[in-house]
Amino acid sequence: MELGYQIPIVALILIGCMMAFTIVTTFMFRSQKTSADYYLAGRKVNSFINASAISSDYLSAASFLGVAGVAFLYGFDGIIYALGFFTGYIALLLFLASPLRKFGRYTVPDFVSERFHSRRARVLGVIGVLFISLFYMAPQMLGAGKVMGLLLNLEYSTSIVIISLIITFYVTVGGMKATTVNQLVQFWILFGAMFLLAFIPFMVKGYTYTDVVAFISTFKGPDPITGKIFDGAAYTSPAYWLTDLKDTLSLLLALMFGTSGLPHILVRFYTAPDGKAARKTVIYVLFLIGFFYILSPYVGHVVRFAYLQSEAMGMSPHLTTWLAENGKNLAVPVAGSHFGGQLLLGIVVAGAFAAILSTVAGLIITCAGAIGHDLVVNIFNPDMPERSRVKVARIASVFVGLLGIPLGFWAENMQIAVLVGLAFAIAASTFFPVLVMGVWWPKMTKGGAIAGLITGITGSFAMILGKDLLPTMLQFKNPGGFVMLFTFLAIYAVSKYEYATKGEAALPHDVEEVMAILHGPEKA
Amino acid sequence: MDQIDDIRQRQLKFALGIGVPYFAFVIGIFLLVYLAGETISKMSFLNFPLHYWLVAVAIYPITWALFIWYVGKANAMEDELAAKVEGE
């Protein structure tokens, strides 16, 4: 009756219910007459539902399992991840949520292309969206294959194929509306699982955060499995794991500003009815993910608390060994098994499954938008009739969804940190500066936008893939924050140069109208 | 255009007026915790280490309160603007 020995029955029941609900909602909301219905749920999504869907999009398996896992492994330093992920929404709220919604297009490449009247900017935007989303999707598939395989006794390849087929089905048939409703339910399953994981040790067993941290910080003794000396004081102090300040600061900046450049998050703001609703949505998101990020580091710490006293607390040798070997990914399910037995373990497995489904669904619909709407329709056939556009959207969704299968196989031997690092680095260093400057600086030129997109994409690739060729002071674990500064500089310098040489002719002819749409009052 | 430019600048000033101190506060807390790690990890408040208070708990309610206020003000600014434009 324990994790790893047999498939948790509760998990199967919950996943079965979730699947039944998914099929019902997919068929209920499958009617899409226009591409705005397909990609953006007709732009009528209520703020609270949208916030739950955004949170579900954002809280991937990496967040659901990873934040508590990092806190379990690295103590206080793990909390920096939670802080970075949480504050990521602030820049979005302050600078982008409302203006982007007022601009009212479909995708991020739409904005760069229509703001600067440039097909080249659209193509670069599509490249950016695909890189970010696919680099983000690969670790989700890897997580799906590894974790679901372990928890449900499935082969890695079987897990990948099953998950890809399920998501491809409901995104293709149901579009954004069904995806949103499913994400709403998936969010509450994963949030409920995390809440119970914190509630049971805190309220039922009485292990307060204060007691847990106090115990760990005074513990100095052998690790129950490895026998190495564990220094609790260092574990609960800063710089136990993140020892390089320059690296940590760049990571924090990438997390803080990368969120504002993630296309699958940005696209959800186009589904809000208006700019004010977009702002309200962010506030709900801040509450939902804020509670989540307060709870998950606590769960990581309480698992460490139980692990250090595994014999006295009756943790089975099997779970203790699992924690020692797979703590980074499996601290959460082990907490479920130890504190709540088969029932809580089942809820946690369903939560992990929900986190994978919701994030991958959001990524598929975003990539489908970039391929179907930006490339096929806007670049190759702008006169395509509306009905054919919906068909193109569905074909693009099937293509991207099934692409998850080879992507999952490819990711099996990749480092998750490199893939996620690339996604956040490109998002922070490419879309964030281009969108912020495009929204707020009327004197930004087409050349500035293109220079920004090129600097962000190539700079991130060069600094991550060519890291070993760079001098030590330019080597970063995540260079997103560092490259972002160069992108801002490139946009500013090229725009200033173009304006100095061409004068007003360097600016898009309709910049005044665009600024009025972005910042003026919305028409009722 | 002048009117839109004024509005844009007013909105930007407001966003930067909140955003810059907020990000400075978050990065400042982070730097304080890392640069003065030894000292700060010995300090506690209600038996909970100060660095945990700051990074794991306090930042959340501070952010919620600040940005609820921000959204209220930003939306009110927009309503005021809409009324002004309609009046003209």
- A514 vs B: CB within 8 A: no
Q: Which of B27, B71, B85 comes nearest A280 by C-beta? A: B71
Beta bridge partners of A222: A229
Q: Which two tokens stand for residue B41?
A: 């990890």
Q: Which of B4, B12, B78 comes nearest A276 by C-beta? A: B78
Q: Mean pLDDT over residues A395-419, rounded?
A: 84
Pairs across A and B, CB distance < 8 A: 132
- Is the CB of B85 less than 8 angstroms away from the CB of A275? no
Q: Give the C-alpha separation, A70 to A158, whole Å.
A: 27
Q: Mean pLDDT over residues A45-50, rounded?
A: 86
- A13 vs B: CB within 8 A: no
Q: Which chain B residues have a beta carbon less than 8 Å from that of A82?
A: 56
- A249 vs B: CB within 8 A: yes
Q: Bigger pLDDT: B17 or A5?
A: B17
Enter the DSSP assignment of A77: G
Among positive and negative, which fits the CA dihedral A515, A519, A520, A524?
positive
CA quadruple A324, A327, A333, A337: dihedral, nearest 10: 20
**Contact yes or no for A323/A330 (Cβ under 8 A):** yes
Is the pLDDT score of A478 beyond 90? no
pLDDT, tens only, A263-291 = 988 888 888 888 888 899 999 999 999 99
Closest-CA distance, A327 to chain B, in angstroms, reads 21
Q: Which two tokens stand for residue A362?
A: 């959001």
Q: Bigger pLDDT: A168 or B78?
A: A168
- Is the CB of B4 less than 8 angstroms away from the CB of A520? yes
Q: Which chain B residues have a beta carbon less than 8 Å from that of A275?
A: 78
- A236 vs B: CB within 8 A: yes
- Is the CB of B4 less than 8 angstroms away from the CB of A516? yes
Q: Which of B19, B38, B67 comes nearest A283 by C-beta? A: B67
Q: Which chain B residues have a beta carbon less than 8 Å from that of A518?
A: 8
Q: Give me the phi and psi of A273, to 5 degrees please.
A: -65, -35
Q: Which of A98, A209, A519 comes nearest B7 by C-beta? A: A519
Q: Which chain B residues have a beta carbon less than 8 Å from that of A290?
A: 60, 63-64
**Contact yes or no for A267/A64 (Cβ under 8 A):** no
Consecutive H or E run containing A90 = helix A78-91
Closest-CA distance, B67 to chain A, in angstroms, reads 7
Which amino acid type is present at position A204?
Answer: V
Q: Mean pLDDT over residues A162-189, rounded?
A: 86
Enter the DSSP assignment of A521: P
Is the pLDDT score of A415 beyond 80? no
Q: Give the C-alpha separation, A363 to A136, whole Å.
A: 8
Instruction: Write down the pTM of the prediction.
Output: 0.89
| pLDDT for position A144 | 79
Q: Which of B12, B37, B64 comes nearest A239 by C-beta? A: B37
At residue B88 the predicted structure's pLDDT band, cuts being 50, 70 and 90, is low
| pLDDT for position A1 | 41
Greatest mean pLDDT range, A20-24, A105-109, A420-424, A457-461 = A457-461
Q: Give the C-alpha separation, B84 to B78, whole Å.
A: 10
E strands, A239-355, are none
Residue at token pair 């805190």: A202
- Is the CB of B49 less than 8 angstroms away from the CB of A213? yes
pLDDT, tens only, B35-64 = 888 888 888 888 899 999 999 999 999 999
Is the pLDDT score of A137 beyond 80? yes
| pLDDT for position A124 | 94
pLDDT, tens only, A355-394 = 888 888 889 989 999 999 889 988 898 888 888 888 898 8
**Contact yes or no for A368/A40 (Cβ under 8 A):** no
| pLDDT for position A244 | 84
At residue A416 the predicted structure's pLDDT band, cuts being 50, 70 and 90, is low
Is the pLDDT score of A65 beyond 90? no
Share of chain A above pLDDT 90, in %: 40
Is the pLDDT score of A326 beyond 80? no
Q: Which of A37-41, A345-349, A351-355 has the lowest mean pLDDT?
A: A37-41
Q: Which of A94-98, A152-156, B21-25 has the lowest mean pLDDT?
A: A152-156
- Is the CB of B1 less than 8 angstroms away from the CB of A209? no
Q: Mean pLDDT over residues A403-413, rounded?
A: 87
Residue at token pair 């080597």: A475
User: Residues near A403 by Cβ (< 8 Å), separated by ≥ 6?
Assistant: A134
Which residue of chain B is at minimal alpha-carbon distance from A524? B82
Beta bridge partners of A230: A221
Give the best residue of B71, B80, B81, B84 to mutate against chain A (max A CB count within 10 A): B71
From the list A123, A91, A90, the residue with the least C-alpha distance to A440 is A91
Residues 42-61 of B with CB under 8 A from A: 46-49, 51-52, 55-57, 59-60
E strands, B1-88, are 44-45, 48-49
| pLDDT for position A212 | 95
pLDDT, tens only, A421-441 = 678 888 999 999 999 999 999
- A508 vs B: CB within 8 A: no
